[in-house]
Structure formats: structure tokens, C-alpha cells
Amino acid sequence: MDGPITDDTDRALGFAIPLRHARGRIVRLGPTLDTILSAHAYPPAIEALLAEALTLCALIGSTLKDAAGQLTMQTRSDSGVVQLLVCDYRGGELRGYIQYDADKLAEAPENPTLFALFGQGYLAITFDMETSGERYQGIVPLDGETLSAAAQSYFIQSEQIPSLVRVGIDKRADGTTIAGGLFLQHLPEGEDGRERLHTKLDHPEWEHVAALGLTMGADELAAPEIALETLVWRLFNEEDVRVLATTGLARGCRCTAEHIAGVLAKFGVEERREMADADGMIRVDCAFCASVFPVPAEEVGVS
């Protein structure tokens, strides 16, 4: 399965192992990740954290069956370096940003722990289903060594699904970043939606799948010269693996003129008038892409 692909980035690949009642997702981010990260001049520790968060967002979000659905990951902290981390996935599009305290970061070690970054923080994962209008949210403490560990705990604790999450990030000499991730889950009876009465972390089938998943190296996940299909085959070459759909990934900031006008419309006329500068422009900042959008006040009902 070692094909001619030499730069396999910005896509997610699903797969299933029916006889082991397991499913998985593998992703790799390249130019899309660099585009998002380059919107802000993040210090190395913050950049690496956002790269990991975006990889997790792509891993989990690409499992959504509702094509119009959205996954949002957001952290909550009141004492750490990171004040806010938020990223989301919708229809193959990713976006994300981090607000942090530069003074606290300067006092932290060069490679700060998750506790140093967040203190007593929490990770909230929210699923918004556009088609049905349903919304699900789970919250877990950020008490592991990595953000990936917290995401793994979410599925084990909140969803009661044995899961394995691995992420690898490579900051290259040319300044670009490659990130990859692996997401494995055990499904009783091999079907979605069935009551999870027999799903256990010590189930022999799950132990076998998880043990194989743990052999995947972070360097392999972040190696664009290795096709995603090849990585799946390397892990489960003795299993009956079924490769599922692939999803292209791209940066997707939704700061269009129509969206901004809709946001401004939620404010009263007097509030909009106060927002306008001396030139009669309301300048809207997008935290995700760090762009400023000037909107003529008269276009949003301010004369």
C-alpha cells in the first residue's frame, strides 16, 4: 500500500475493524494548520498547544454524521497562562485561537505542563447537530499530561466509550508545522447507537486494538510522506480493516460580510452608533483570523 503519495496532508480518513468491534479515524494537517497558526504570532508553547487542539478537533469533528453539524472544543480556566482556547470543526473546515497571559507565560518553564498552562482548568466538547437541532456537551478536567489525554478522558468518562487518542506534532526547520492524530474507539456489537452495556476497558478485543494503536509513533503521524492508508495498514495488517470515507480539511473562518452584519444587527442602534469611529466605520475584529473588517455604519442602520 506504499503508493506514490509524497505529501499526504489536510485530510481525515475513517476506518473500521468489524471483527474487533472497533472504529478509527486518522488525520494529518499541514498547510491548513500553518494558515491558522500564522494569523497570530504565538510563542512556541502556545502554538504547539493550538496545533494539538486543532488536530483533536479534526479527529473528533470528522466523525460527525451530520455534514452540517459542528464540533466545538473550549477550555475554561481562571488561574492559568491560557485564558481561553477555542476551536471548532464544521464540514471539513477548522478554525481556532488562544488568548493567553504573556506575563504568566514568561514566568512558566520553557516547556510548560498542562497544569502550568491551565491551572484548575476544564475542557468542554460540544456537538451541535444542525439537522436535528440537538446539542450535546461534556466537560472534563484538564488534569492529564496533554490536551489529548483530556479528550480521551472525555470519551471514557462522559461517553463511556473505551477510546485511544494519540497526536504527533513536528515543527520543521523551515518553520512549517505538520500534525497528525489517531482516534480509536471500541463499539459493542460493532454497531453505532446500541446500548453500551458490554463495553469495558478490559474487554479482550479492545485491549488488542488499543495495544496496536499505542505502537503508532508520533513521528509517523506527523510524516506527510507516509499516506494515511499506509499507516492504517501498518497498524492493523493482520486484521480485516475497512477503509471508509476521506474528508478534506481546510481553514474555515466564517467572518463574511453577511455574518458580521448579522452580528451587528443584534445590537441596538445607539450601541452601533457608539461603535462607529470618526470616519463613520464600525471596525470588527475577528479573533480567529486576526482580520479587521470595516463596516460602514450606514449599512447597519446607523445614520
What pTM was estimated for this model as a whole? 0.86
Instruction: Say if residue 121 is in the same domain as residue 177.
Output: yes
Dihedral-angle region of residue 183 (phi above 0 means left; psi in -120 to 50 means alpha; beta otherwise):
beta
Q: Distance between CA atoms of 280 and 271, rounded to whole angstroms? A: 14
Task: Write the single-letter amino acid at 276.
Answer: A
213: domain CATH number? Answer: 3.55.30.10
Determine the pLDDT at residue 173: 92
Answer for the pair 206, 200: CB distance below 8 angstroms, yes or no. yes
Q: Distance between CA atoms of 18 and 154, rounded to whole angstroms? A: 24
For residue 98, the cross-strand partners are 85
Instruction: Say if residue 227 is in the same domain as residue 280.
Output: no
Q: Which domain holds residue 277?
A: 257-300
Q: Which of 209, 165, 154 is nearest to 186 (CA)?
A: 209
Determine the pLDDT at residue 195: 44
Instruction: Say if residue 46 is in the same domain as residue 78.
Output: yes
Instruction: Say if residue 156 is in the same domain as residue 29.
Output: yes
Question: Can you give the pLDDT of all 303 residues of the chain as single tens digits?
Answer: 444 446 899 999 999 999 999 999 999 999 999 999 998 999 999 999 999 999 999 999 999 988 889 999 999 887 889 999 999 999 999 999 999 999 999 999 888 999 999 998 999 999 999 888 889 899 999 988 899 999 999 988 877 889 999 999 999 999 999 999 999 999 865 444 444 434 555 678 899 999 999 999 999 999 999 999 999 999 999 999 999 989 999 998 777 767 777 777 778 778 878 888 877 777 777 677 767 777 777 766 666
Determine the pLDDT at residue 1: 44
194 vs 6, 132, 160, 219, 244, CA distance in Å? 40, 19, 12, 36, 20
The count of structural domains within the chain is 2
274: helix, strand or coil: helix
Answer for the pair 27, 62: CB distance below 8 angstroms, yes or no. yes
Determine the pLDDT at residue 264: 77
Name the residue with cell 481546510.
250
Instruction: Say if residue 192 is in the same domain as residue 272.
Output: no
CB proximity list for 66: less than 8 A, separation 6 or greater: 129, 130, 131, 132
Instruction: Say if residue 171 is in the same domain as residue 74.
Output: yes
Instruction: Say if residue 178 is in the same domain as residue 223.
Output: yes
Q: Residue 270 domain-assigned?
A: yes
Determine the pLDDT at residue 3: 47
For residue 184, the cross-strand partners are 24, 164
137, 261, 97, 252 alpha-carbon torsion, rounded to 10°: 80
Instruction: Say if residue 178 is in the same domain as residue 195.
Output: yes
